[in-house]
Amino acid sequence: MMRRTFLAQIAYAIRQDRWDKATKLIDAAPDLRSACLAVRQGGVKRIHAKGPKQGAEEVFLLASITKPMTACGAMKLVDAGELSLADPVKKFVPEFRGGDRDLVTVKHLLTHTSGLPDMLPENEQLRARHAPLADFTAGACRTPLLFKPGAKCQYQSMGILLAAEIVERITQVPFREFLDRVLFRPLAMNDTSLGLGGRRIRDTAQCQVTGNDSWNWNSPYWRNLGAPWGGAHATASDILKFLDYFIKPDARVLKTETARAMIQDQNKGLNDQWGIGWAVKRSRVGKACSDRAFGHSGSTGTMSWGDPASGTSFVLLTTKPAEQSRDNLLVPVSDAISEAVA
């Protein structure tokens, strides 16, 4: 028994040299105000933080890590028999109809194969006038499709928006409240919310953006909007719990087979790989991860992945936008950690 325990400790050891490389990259990142790296492999959890709070409990705006959360909300209704992935969107959103829109299914929305755009052409104008989510939904219902549904894969935030709209229309419950009830609370993600969740913006990590103060990532408008494609707030510790659930799923949120399907490629034969809400292509996770790895990143400077093969969950939340930090921080840290636990 003692030998077995000792071998398990070796198997779950995180290579110190790779860990040190990752933390040095964070500490040396120029102009980076706040960041939190959290890694769990087996029973071992490590945290490294930079910034005024210096801890794993700082709340960050997640951006698109919100998308797999929204997908969980939709799949909860699939498990309950109230929704099918094969259902046409127009069944629940009748104003989304006509032409190829009639062919768009719930699965297309959740696998980035709907033909909808990532953002609406009028996206900035909507934000500038502080439009409610209903106006984004109306725009998604009338915007031209970019290709025939199911013909290819192209990243689309507006598809995720319509998936949340379907859930809200079926349940008659505000989507942010539904997610809290069926996902955040069951997983004890006590510091996670869609929207600010009653927090003050100054009590969260501030995104390093300038200009457009009335509707940028730090504005009361955007932080409170609760965009189902990018408006969730959470700590690194909570995102570890979210990833851990998919590494070893149980019945707390979804049926086990449903959770497993979400981290498997649903786009066989198409140009890009996606699970249901989750990215499953190896180029989107750490370079030493296995083919079973899944994850998601966000434009605010966030990245996460889980690898069932090694039992590892990785989260890096930062305040520096991904367009400035992806190549010199997010990806190198992710790669170093994937090597540390491989």
For the stretch 165-206, pLDDT in tens is 999 999 999 999 999 999 999 999 999 999 999 999 999 999
Q: What is the DSSP letter of 25?
A: H
> Would residue 192 count as lying in a domain?
yes
* Each residue's pLDDT tens digit, 250-273: 999 999 999 999 999 999 999 999
Mean pLDDT on 148-163 = 98
Indicate whether 210 belongs to any domain.
Answer: yes
Contact indicator for 68, 51 with CB cutoff of 8 Å: no
Confidence of residue 66 (pLDDT cuts 50, 70, 90): very high
Question: Is 81 found in the same domain as 46?
Answer: no
Q: 300 near 63, Cβ under 8 Å?
A: yes
* SS3 label, residue 114: coil
- Give the rounded percent of residues in the chain with a pLDDT score beyond 70: 96
Reported confidence tier of residue 76, pLDDT bands at 50, 70, 90: very high
Q: What is the mean pLDDT of residues 6-22?
A: 70
Sheet architecture: strand order including 232-234:
60-61, 232-234, 193-194
With H, G, I as helix, E, B as strand and everything else as coil, classify residue 75. Answer: helix
Mean pLDDT of 116-128: 97
Whole-angstrom Cα distance, residue 184 to residue 83? 21
Q: Is residue 313 part of a domain?
A: yes
Can you tell me the distance from the alpha carbon of 297 to that of 304, in angstroms, rounded to the nearest whole number?
6
- Would the pLDDT of 3 be above 50? no
Which residues 6+ apart lie within 8 Å of 11 measured at CB? 42
pTM for the full predicted model: 0.95
Verify that 137 and 237 share a domain, yes or no: no
Q: What is the CA radius of gyration of the chain?
A: 20
Q: Mark whether 248 and 190 lie in a shared domain.
A: yes
Count of domains observed in the chain: 2
> Is 283:297 a contact under the CB 8 Å cutoff?
no
Gap between the Cα atoms of 184 and 81, Å rounded: 21
CA pair distance 58, 237, nearest whole angstrom: 9
Give the whole-angstrom CA distance, residue 192 versus residue 208: 21
Does the structure show a pLDDT above 70 at 54? no
Nearest to 22 by CA among 339, 342, 337: 337
Tell me which of 123, 150, 171 is where a domain ends.
171
Q: Domain boundary at 171, 190, 213, which? A: 171
**Do 225 and 145 reside in the same domain of the chain?**
no
Segment holding 313, helix H or strand E: strand 312-318
* pLDDT at 52 (0 to 100): 84
- Say if 270 falls within a structural domain: yes
Between CA 186 and CA 178 the distance in angstroms is 12
Domain of residue 284 covers 15-65+182-341
